[in-house]
Structure 1
Amino acid sequence: MRTARFLLLTAVSAVTVGTATTVAAAPAPPASAAAPAGAPAAVPADDGATVTAEEQLDERTYDLTVSSPALGQSVKVRVLVPDGWSRDAVRTWPVVYAYHGGRDTYVSWTRSTDIEELSARHDVMVVMPECADGAFTDWWNYGRGGTPRWETFHTQEVLQLMERNYRAGTTRAAMGISSGATGATTYAARHPGMFRYAAASSGIQHMTRPGVPTAVMFTQAFFTDTGDPLRVWGVPGIDDANWRAHDPYELAANLRGTGLYVSSGTTGLPGEYDDPAPWERLIVQSQEVLTGVTSRDFIDRLRALGIPVTSHIYGNGWHDWATWQPEMHRYWPLMMTALGVAG
């Protein structure tokens, strides 16, 4: 979510979360198929998704415009490339896919953290796709399917475009905050082997816990641009199978062999990295309480299954970037080790 905080005292305002289906991206083509410097990508994704524009912001940062059949629209993807990168290189690079939260955009990681400086120390690419309020799922749409298909966009179209045109490798990690944290763990669980590591900060990790679907739909209806929240995963109670199919807790067994980092606050009160006004110090952010409860459920489930997880349940700490940046610095070295990237 944006740095501007939802300061809710009584209403349950959970973070929208989710994910959907897809297959691993195809291997990158020979370097000769890549587009020349400064031009859009030449090789489309399997479904026809293509890069229609590319803007180089600085030496390492590119903003891509992707025409996406899965979404039925064009959206942005920001890419940080490592030193020595070139689109016609023989080698490929490990990739971190970074997902933002609701009510935010693809620029949020570079706007609100020092990910540019941090990633510059490592031989790794960082890809930050637009996520909008998409909930990291191919929307149910009352069983009819159709657009938007955010999981297809993230796990097929973006991966294929990066691997076919920008020398992205198949050694991947996923990281996210808020709804993006749920996206990171759900994508990893729904596509075993796609990501070597998944790091999740303040995400709902037990979607079908009693009361959580109602809280999620409340947030989608009143605090996002979702519109009809029943279009996303369906009607709780009637479409429970679809909710369970996108619940990290229910899918936990699929995460065996994936490195995991899960963190959240539990009290909803400001923490050591927050700078609240005096009147804000007693405000409880209910969404962080909910992410804390569900993160604990998820961690307990992983441990019951004998699946290793690094966790940081820290009590006080708001649902904001001031808290999430220090978390990124905690899991980044673990993620780089999992990717086999030297620092």
Structure 2
Amino acid sequence: MTDRRPTRRSVLKAAGGVTAALGLSGGSLLATTATASAAGDGFGLRIVDRNESDPRMKYYRFATDAIEWDPGVNVLLPDGYDSGRRYPVLYLFHGGGTDQDFITFDRLGIRQLTAGKPIIVVMPDGGHAGWYSNPVHSNTGPRDWETFHIQQLLPWIEANFRTFAEYDGRAVAGFSMGGFGALKYAAKYWGHFASVSSHSGPASLRRDNGLVVHWANVSSAALDLGGGSVYGVPFWDENRVTADNPVQRIESYRNKRVFLVAGTSPDPINWFDTANETQVLAGQREFRAALGRAGIHHEWHEEPGGHFVRPHLLAADIDGAIARLRKA
């Protein structure tokens, strides 16, 4: 643990996760394509915009049948990528809210946090309130974020960049709503990711009469789905909730690196901050207790403050993921 604390100016305060109101296999096949400049269409993705001029940060926007609008992705390459080596990949997911998108972690300083580190970081769009899910119902066209991330983007990355296309070559992490998405994908697609991290992300969907599920439905209806919902209203798709609920998928985290962060003292004046992190902290403690009972190793951090990304813990998390994954 470190005693450094971020200031309000040094962190991103985002509307994610429980905000406001509260495939592939894990085989050993290596990716085949070589350079960023060779990136092309495939896996249901058609590139409609790109910028590959930066030596490290590559930007792409896709047309896809999975999403009604064209989602973007930033792909951050390591220093020395052109040396020809292959690298492990960290998929890094943003939180919810109208100010959150694939650029979120670039605003947070991800280039500096990864300088000199041998890992590719993939940062895709996830919607204002997409919840890293295929919704039960949408009135605004397709919003199948789970399909986009797992069935399309992941294989596209491995076909266009020099990665280790295997279980030990992939990590997934996120903040808030994105932290939930990371926990969900790591369990639901257990053969894909050897490391999973949640920074202030909810880990328990059914606690407190399903508060997180209700918020996912309310926020997605308001921001993304035109009155539709992720899990169903007034009746949930119970099988879908169970499949997505980290505390009900405990065995899926065995033999993975698990890294959790939550704040212990949200701003008492800011109901938005308090509603978020109070629920996050309780859910992560429930999740950690279940992991402990199952004998599944995990690393956790509780620190003062509320619902924001703690850069020093994000940096420590990246180092831990690199240590767990296959070496470049």
Q: TM-score, normalising length from structure 2?
A: 0.83
Distance 1:226 1:289, change over 3 A: farther
Superposed, which structure 2 residues align to 1:29-44 within 5 Å? 30-31=32-33, 38=37, 41-44=39-42
1:56, distance to aligned residue in structure 2 (A): 2.3
Map of 1:274 onto structure 2: none
1:257, distance to aligned residue in structure 2 (A): 1.1
Distance 1:289 1:236, change over 3 A: farther
Map of 2:285 onto structure 1: 296
Map of 1:332 onto structure 2: 318
Q: Distance in 1 between matches of 2:14 and 2:243?
A: 30
- Greater CA deviation, 67-76 or 192-201? 67-76
Map of 1:252 onto structure 2: 250
Partner SS for 2:260: strand
Contact 2:31/2:161, CA 8 A, preserved across alignment: no
1:219, distance to aligned residue in structure 2 (A): 4.0
Q: Distance in 2 between matches of 1:285 and 1:54?
A: 39
From 290, 294, 297, the equivalent of 1:305 is: 294
From 85, 88, 92, the equivalent of 1:94 is: 88
Map of 1:228 onto structure 2: 227
Q: Distance in 1 between matches of 2:71 and 2:236?
A: 33
1:157-198 CA-to-partner distances (Å, cap 9, x unmatched) read 111111111223220111100000001111000011211101
Q: Distance in 2 between matches of 1:70 and 1:233?
A: 18
1:149, distance to aligned residue in structure 2 (A): 1.2
Distance 1:282 1:75, change over 3 A: closer
1:5, distance to aligned residue in structure 2 (A): 5.8
Q: Distance in 2 between matches of 1:244 and 1:129?
A: 25
Q: Distance in 2 between matches of 1:214 and 1:282?
A: 18
Map of 1:167 onto structure 2: 162
Map of 1:58 onto structure 2: 54
Map of 1:18 onto structure 2: none
1:192-216 CA-to-partner distances (Å, cap 9, x unmatched) read 1211101101111001222422344
Task: Note if 1:130 corresponds to 2:125.
Answer: yes
Distance 1:251 1:328, change over 3 A: same
Map of 2:24 onto structure 1: 23
Superposed, which structure 2 residues align to 1:177-188 within 5 Å? 177-188=175-186
Q: Distance in 2 between matches of 1:281 and 1:53?
A: 39
1:93, distance to aligned residue in structure 2 (A): 1.4
Q: Distance in 1 between matches of 2:273 and 2:196?
A: 28
1:42-68 CA-to-partner distances (Å, cap 9, x unmatched) read 3511xx223333202522111011222
Superposed, which structure 2 residues align to 1:144-163 within 5 Å? 147-163=142-158
1:281, distance to aligned residue in structure 2 (A): 8.0
1:96-153 CA-to-partner distances (Å, cap 9, x unmatched) read 11000002010000102x32122122111111011112110111229x9x82211111
- Give the partner amino acid of 2:120: M
- Greater CA deviation, 103-112 or 239-248? 239-248
Distance 1:190 1:282, change over 3 A: closer
Contact 1:62/1:79, CA 8 A, preserved across alignment: yes
Task: Note if 1:69 corresponds to 2:65.
Answer: yes
Q: Which runs of 5+ in 2 are unaligned?
A: 1-10
Contact 1:43/1:165, CA 8 A, preserved across alignment: no
Q: Distance in 2 between matches of 1:77 and 1:302?
A: 32
Contact 2:130/2:224, CA 8 A, preserved across alignment: no
- Give the partner amino acid of 1:241: N
Superposed, which structure 2 residues align to 1:112-127 within 5 Å? 112=108, 114-127=109-122
Map of 1:286 onto structure 2: 275
Aligned length: 305
Partner SS for 2:101: coil
Map of 1:78 onto structure 2: 74
Q: Distance in 2 between matches of 1:151 and 1:319?
A: 24
Task: Note if 1:176 corresponds to 2:162.
Answer: no
Task: Note if 1:111 corresponds to 2:107.
Answer: yes
Q: TM-score, normalising length from structure 1?
A: 0.79
Map of 2:21 onto structure 1: 13
- Give the partner amino acid of 1:217: N
- Give the partner amino acid of 1:339: L
1:24, distance to aligned residue in structure 2 (A): 3.5
Q: Distance in 2 between matches of 1:175 and 1:283?
A: 23
From 240, 244, 259, the equivalent of 1:261 is: 259
Q: Distance in 2 between matches of 1:283 and 1:188?
A: 28
Q: Distance in 2 between matches of 1:110 and 1:157?
A: 23
Contact 1:266/1:290, CA 8 A, preserved across alignment: no
Contact 2:101/2:125, CA 8 A, preserved across alignment: yes
1:218, distance to aligned residue in structure 2 (A): 3.9
> Identity of counterpart residues, as a percentage?
27
Contact 2:217/2:231, CA 8 A, preserved across alignment: no
Q: Which runs of 5+ in 1 are unaligned?
A: 15-21, 271-279
1:12, distance to aligned residue in structure 2 (A): 6.3
